[in-house]
Amino acid sequence: MAGRPFIYSGQGFSLLRDKNRFVLPNVLRSTVRDSSGKDVLCLAKHPEWKCLVGFGTSRVDEFEEQIEAEQARADTAGRPFNRDKRAMQLYNFQQVPFDGSGRFTMPDAFASLAALGDQLFFQGIGRTILIWNPDELYKLADDPEFEAAIATCRSLQDAELAKKKQ
């Protein structure tokens, strides 16, 4: 298994809780813990969508290889490639500790970048986790590729809000 990437699969939803904390869903938490070797989630801004990307620290070991591959593809296609700009995007992440129950505090700067509020939808997409403000995800409803994620988000959101009312 050494050298194989960690794969994030599953979804979850968290409402803002006491002490201004969210909860990393259990379905994703163990993979983050295994990838990082400790209770640390790395957060970065998604390069295209208004959401965050989460991953364990082992993913950082893949960044240089990823940059090299992207450079080679750009060279082959005759497209310009700014290595420093891409490195700045990849390495611009923050390590966020979480406790044994998955509780963590969202850094203000990253919350602002993704327009996060008091609700988070987590979507494991393989090598990373997408972290959405549900309202930002719902803005993509015209794109059929987001249909399943939106339906899952709405379902989990309704369940969490119903629990909160009780």
pLDDT tens-place string over residues 103-137: 999 999 999 999 999 999 999 999 999 999 999 99
The Cα 13–Cα 162 span in angstroms is 13
Question: Hey, how many other C-beta atoms are within 10 angstroms of the C-beta on 99?
Answer: 11
Q: Is the pLDDT of residue 150 over 70?
A: yes
Would you list the DSSP string of the chain?
-TTPPP-EEEEEEEE-BGGGBEE--HHHHHHHHHHHTSSEEEEEE-SSSSSEEEE-GGGGGGHHHHHHHHHHHHHHHT----HHHHHHHHH-EEEEE--TT-EEPPPHHHHHHTT--SEEEEEEEESSEEEE-HHHHHTTTTSGGGHHHHHHHHHHHHHHHHHHH-
Token pair of 89, please? 């995007």
Listed in sequence order, the residues at least 6 apart from 119 whose beta carbon sits closer than 8 Å to its beta carbon are 13, 14, 15, 16, 133, 134, 157, 160
CATH domain 8-165 topology: Chemotaxis protein chec (3.40.1550)
| pLDDT for res 3 | 65
Q: Does residue 70 have a pLDDT over 50?
A: yes
> What's the confidence (pLDDT) of residue 1?
40
Is residue 2's pLDDT more than 60?
no
Backbone phi and psi for residue 96, each to the nearest 5 degrees, phi listed first? -120, 115
User: What are the sequence ranges of the domains in the chain?
Assistant: 8-165
Residue 89: pLDDT over 80 = yes
Measured distance CA(51)–CA(33) in Å, rounded: 22
